[in-house]
Structure 1
Amino acid sequence: MRIIGLTGGIASGKSTVAAVLTACGAAVIDADQLSREAVQPGSSAFHQIIATFGSTILQSDGDLDRKALGKVVFADPAARRRLEAITHPAIRRLAEQKLAALRAAGTAVVFYMAPLLIEAGATDRVDEIWVVYVDRETQLTRLMARDGISYEEAEQRIAAQMPMAEKASYGSVVIDNRGAPEATERQVRHLWAERLQPLMN
């Protein structure tokens, strides 16, 4: 089974690319989805997060208030590292379970989509890395529109991640997502046909 890491900066368009890959027939594991599963109320990670950051990051229904937690950790690198020390091992366990199930099912190609694949030191889990790239201004504009946040908050979140140019240097494939969605889809379908379709037979 070939495991490809799909990464990129925040609001770079990883989900857009993953949707095209899914339509092509790829299996995609989404680390953001795993991160939500990992911190479900009652889980070990959930209790560790409350013990570390306090009950002010809870919603009235007892679930995590991800926006409130985000404001804390994006404003404080030390707090972000504490959160990652709790969540990354839990996400890794869930990812390994899903990969094992796909391997047992005879899946030929799987994409592991993770925004912090490189930062989290998870590159050893994948056979190669595909990076979704946008320039900083496009990233800022899309992030503000997507999350309804200010320019300053968007800057803060982008600054918390590895610069896009540095991230792109890790990719065996770099997908340019600065243009229209149709242009990105054409790139991804071409890559699929050229590099991965032969593995599916």
Structure 2
Amino acid sequence: MNIGLTGGIAAGKSTVADLLVRKGALLVDLDRIAREIVEPGQPALERIAERFGQAVLQADGTLDRKKLGAMVFADPDKRKALEQITHPAIRAVMKERMEANRLAAPDRLTVVDVPLLYESGLASYFEKVLVVYVPRRTQLERLIARDKLSPEEAEIRLNAQMDIEEKKKRADYVIDNGGSLEETERQVDAFWREMGLA
């Protein structure tokens, strides 16, 4: 079975993904895939450099993620242009890995960590969607602390995603990650039992 795992930026998806992996789930991480498809020599990186200019590449030929991020988060048209390059490549690798997991371990849960699951129209790929939730204010505080952003920069990034409350409404399951790690672990355990995996 394939579960889509999503939530807002800085909500703690990685924490929940790690807890599920510890319980025996297999993980397909789209953030990791997104980094792989823009490594030197990959077609997506070449297309990004063509579209956004050589300035988005560092001296060693790797992507300057911070520079590109500043460019695309400030301009919806540029963000859309970037997504048109990266999303098909990411989706192709995601499908390959989901299928490989299904063939190798058909009885195990595959958790696919998709930051922009709803925004990218990927919900139909999964039997169920699990949203990791924290209130927007908590997201903002965590994002500022984690990525060393100004409040204004953090707001721009939050506004580039679907509102966390809307994601919560659409979810099949919700893990509230606003409390302690123990509280999150209890909710993950309950989810695991509800899925019939305990």
TM-score class normalised by the smaller sequence: over 0.9
Q: CA RMSD in A?
A: 1.0
Give the C-alpha shift of residue 65 in structure 1.
0.6
Per the alignment, residue 39 of structure 1 pairs with: 38
Superposed, 1:21-32 pairs within 5 Å as 21-32=20-31
Q: Secondary structure at the match of 1:158?
A: helix
Per the alignment, residue 174 of structure 1 pairs with: 174
Give the partner amino acid of 2:16. Answer: V
Give the C-alpha shift of residue 21 in structure 1.
0.3
Superposed, 1:20-169 pairs within 5 Å as 20-107=19-106, 108-169=108-169
Q: Given the two structures, how large is their TM-score scaled by the length of structure 2? A: 0.97
Percent identity between matched residues is 50
Q: Is the 8 A contact 1:109 1:196 kept in 2?
A: no
Give the C-alpha shift of residue 162 in structure 1.
0.2
Any idea what the Cα deviations from partners look like across 1:118-139, whole Å, max 9, x if unmatched?
1001112111100001111100
Q: Secondary structure at the match of 1:117?
A: coil
State the aligned residue count. Answer: 197
Is 1:186 the counterpart of 2:186? The answer is: yes
Any idea what the Cα deviations from partners look like across 1:2-53, whole Å, max 9, x if unmatched?
1100000100100000010011000011000010111111111111100000
Q: Given the two structures, how large is their TM-score scaled by the length of structure 1? A: 0.95
Is 1:3 the counterpart of 2:7? The answer is: no
Q: Aligned partners of 1:123 and 1:197: how far apart in 2?
A: 22
Q: Secondary structure at the match of 2:88?
A: helix
Give the C-alpha shift of residue 112 in structure 1.
0.7
Q: Which runs of 4+ in 1 moved over 4 A?
A: none
Q: Aligned partners of 2:105 and 2:176: how far apart in 1?
A: 31
Q: Aligned partners of 1:197 and 1:125: how far apart in 2?
A: 21
Give the C-alpha shift of residue 196 in structure 1.
3.8
